[in-house]
Structure 1
C-alpha cells in the first residue's frame, strides 16, 4: 500500500512537471524540431566529431555542425523566397497592365469546349477597367487598403519564426554537445518507468525519422530538381521558382502534380502545346518512380510499415501537427503497429524485436 509521503511526493513531482511543460509550451515546436534534426544528422555528426577529435567535441564540433545545418536550411528558403517575391511583383504588374489596357481574352480561351463563353465573360468581368464592381477593382482594394495590416501581421509572424529558428539552433547545439549523455539518461529513465520495451519504441522512432527524411525530404528535393531541369528545357517562365515550388510540394506524396499541372497550363496558354505535354509526361513518370517505388522502399523499410499506413500517418500528422507531422505521423504509426504486433504475437516476437534493436546498433 502506498504511504502518504510517497503519494504527496508523486503529486508534487507531477505538478512540477506539468508546470514546467506549461512554462515552455511556446518552445515545444523548436525543441521537437531540434530533436528531429539531431536524429536525422546524427551519423554525419559522429563523423565530424571523430574527424575533429575528442579535444573539440564540446565546443568546436557542435558549433561547426550547428552553423552548417543552419546555413543549409536557410539558404534555399532565402533564395526561393526572393524569387517568389520578384515573381509576385511581376504577376501583380501583369494583372494591373491587363486591367488598364482592358485586354482581350487569349484565343485559346475561346477554344475550350462547353465553358468557353462563360470563361470569356469571367475574363471581361475580372479585367474590366470601367466597372467599379469588377473583381479586379476589389482585388486592388484588398491589396491597397489592407496592405499595412497584412504587412504588420506578416512581419510579426516572420519575427516569431526567426526567434523559433534560432532557439532551435541553440537547442541543436546542446543536443550535439551532450547528446550521448542525454541518450543514456533517457534510456535509464525509460527503463525505470516503462521497462525495456521503451528502448525498442525509441529505436523505432529514430529509424522512422531517418526513413521519413530520406523518403520525403530528399526524394521530394530530387523530384524538384529533375522537374526544374525539365522546366528550363521546355522554356517555362520563372523555371527556378516553379522548380522550388515543385520540390516543396513533392515532399508531401502526390502533391507535385499540382505544380507541374499549373506549369503545363501556363505553357498551353502561351501556345507551347508540345512543351506542356512534355512536362506532364515527364512529371507523371518521375512521380510514378518516386512515389510508387523509391518512397515505399525508403520509408516502409525504415518504419516497418506498409506504405498505405505511412501515407495515412503523413497526412494525419500534417493535419494534426502541421509540418512537424511529416515526421511525427509515421513515427507514431510505427509505434502503434509495434504495440499491435506485441499484443497479437506475444512475448516471442518481443524478444525478436529486442534482438533486432541490438543488431541495428
Structure 2
C-alpha cells in the first residue's frame, strides 16, 4: 500500500516561476544596457548639444523656405540646401560678425584713450545729487573723474581690473560663439534634406507617447519656433544690421555696441527707441544740419519695421508674453553666450505655448493650435 506523501517531502521545482524570474532579469539587463549606452551617447554629444539644438531650430524655421526653393529649382534639394546655407551664412553670421567686431573695436578704442589720457569726462549735472540712496556717491565719483580721471582710475583700480578681465573674457568668447554659429548653420544645411524623415520620426515618437495630441504638440512646437525665429529674432537681426550700417556710414562712435543694444531691445519687444532717440539727439547736437536730418530720416524706418514685417513673417498671432522672451534672452545669454541670446527666447516660447495648451481641455487645446497642427479626432 502506497504511503501518503509526508509534509516534509521536498517541493518540486516550478519551471514557470523560474522562467518568469529569468525573463525579469533579462528585461532588467536589457534596460541597463540601453541606459548605459544612452548615458554614454549623451556624454559624447553633451559638448555639442547647444550647437545641435540651434541647428535643429534653424532647420525647422527655414524648412518652408528650403522646400519652396527646391520646387523652384526643379526638385533639386541638394542645390536648394546649399543656397539656403550660403544665404544664412551671409545674412546671419555676417551681420553678427560685423556687430561683434565693431563692438570689440569700440571697447579697444575706449581702453586706448584711457591709456593715453585723452578721454575727457564732462562735469556731472547737479540733478544727480537728488537721486535717492546713490545720488551723492555717483555725483562724487563722477566729479572726481571729470577733475582728475587718473586719480579716479587709481581709486577704482581693483574694481576696474576685475570688470576689465570679465570684459576681455567676454570679448574672447565672442569669437568662439561666432564659430559655433557657423557650425550650426552648416549642420542645419545637412538637416534640410532629411527634414521630412526627422519630422516623421518625431511625430511617431510623439504618437507613441501622447497619441494624436502628442503629434499636435510637436507641430505646435514647430510653428512656435518658426514664429519666434522669423517674426522676432529675424526682424531684430534686420533692424540691428540696418542700424549698424547707417551708423557706420555716418561715423557715429561705437556703431557695433549701439546695434547690439538695438538687437537685444528688439528681441525683447521693447523696440529701438531707447537707444536710437539719444543717438538722434546727439546727431543734432554734434553734426551739421544736413547730415543730422539725413541720419534721422534713415533711422526712422527702424521704428516701424516691426509693424510691417511681423504680419508677413508670423503665421499666427504671437501669444508668447514679453516677460517670457525677456527671461529667455537674459537666461540664454548668461548661460550660453551669443547663441543663448537667440536660443533662450525660442526654447522658453515653445515651453510656454506647450504648457498653455496642455493645461486646457482637449477640445480647447485643439482650437488653440494652428491649423497645420490639428489632427482628425479618432472615431
TM-score, length-scaled by structure 2: 0.68
Query: In 1, are the aligned partners of 2:216 and 2:374 still within 8 Å (CA)?
Result: no
SS of alignment partner, residue 237 of structure 1 = coil
Match of 1:68 in 2: 87
CA RMSD of superposed structures (Å): 4.7
Q: 1:327 aligns with which of 338, 346, 356?
A: 346
State the 1:105 CA deviation: 3.8
Q: Distance in 2 between matches of 1:334 and 1:42?
A: 21
Distance 1:304 1:218, change over 3 A: closer
Alignment of structure 1 residues 17-56 onto 2, 5 Å: 17-54=38-75, 56=76
Q: Does 1:248 align with 2:249?
A: no
Alignment of structure 1 residues 122-137 onto 2, 5 Å: 122-129=141-148, 132=151, 134-135=152-153
State the 1:88 CA deviation: 3.2
Match of 1:201 in 2: 217
- More divergent stretch after superposition (172-181 vs 218-227): 218-227
Query: In 2, are the aligned partners of 1:38 and 1:176 still within 8 Å (CA)?
Result: yes
Distance 1:70 1:312, change over 3 A: same
Query: In 2, are the aligned partners of 1:125 and 1:135 still within 8 Å (CA)?
Result: no
Match of 1:357 in 2: 372
Q: Does 1:167 align with 2:183?
A: yes
Q: Does 1:317 align with 2:321?
A: no
Report Cα offsets for 1:194-242 as digits up to 9, x if no partner. Answer: 3222210111111111111233123324544776798699x78338446
Report Cα offsets for 1:7-48 as digits up to 9, x if no partner. Answer: 443443334223312321111111111111111111111122
Distance 1:46 1:66, change over 3 A: same
The alignment of Structure 1 onto Structure 2 pairs a total of residues equal to 336
Q: Distance in 2 between matches of 1:169 and 1:224?
A: 20
TM-score, length-scaled by structure 1: 0.71
Q: Distance in 1 between matches of 2:143 and 2:206?
A: 67
Q: Distance in 2 between matches of 1:41 and 1:298?
A: 15
Query: In 1, are the aligned partners of 2:95 and 2:241 still within 8 Å (CA)?
Result: no
Q: Distance in 1 between matches of 2:322 and 2:43?
A: 32
Q: Does 1:83 align with 2:102?
A: yes
Match of 2:10 in 1: none
Q: Distance in 2 between matches of 1:130 and 1:86?
A: 22
State the 1:71 CA deviation: 2.6
Query: In 1, are the aligned partners of 2:328 and 2:345 still within 8 Å (CA)?
Result: yes
Distance 1:82 1:163, change over 3 A: closer
Q: Does 1:302 align with 2:316?
A: yes
SS of alignment partner, residue 28 of structure 1 = helix
Distance 1:93 1:355, change over 3 A: closer
State the 1:76 CA deviation: 0.7
Query: In 2, are the aligned partners of 1:313 and 1:330 still within 8 Å (CA)?
Result: yes
Q: Distance in 1 between matches of 2:48 and 2:129?
A: 54
Q: 1:215 aligns with which of 231, 251, 265?
A: 231
Name the one with the larger helix percent: 1
Query: In 2, are the aligned partners of 1:228 and 1:239 still within 8 Å (CA)?
Result: no
Instruction: Choose between structure 1 and 2 for higher RCO, CA contacts under 8 A separated by at least 6 residues.
Output: 2
State the 1:244 CA deviation: 2.2
Q: Distance in 1 between matches of 2:182 and 2:231?
A: 27
State the 1:300 CA deviation: 8.4
State the 1:73 CA deviation: 1.8
Query: In 1, are the aligned partners of 2:243 and 2:259 still within 8 Å (CA)?
Result: no
Report Cα offsets for 1:135-194 as digits up to 9, x if no partner. Answer: 2675599569977x9767854x35643553343234213211211222222222322233
SS of alignment partner, residue 91 of structure 1 = helix
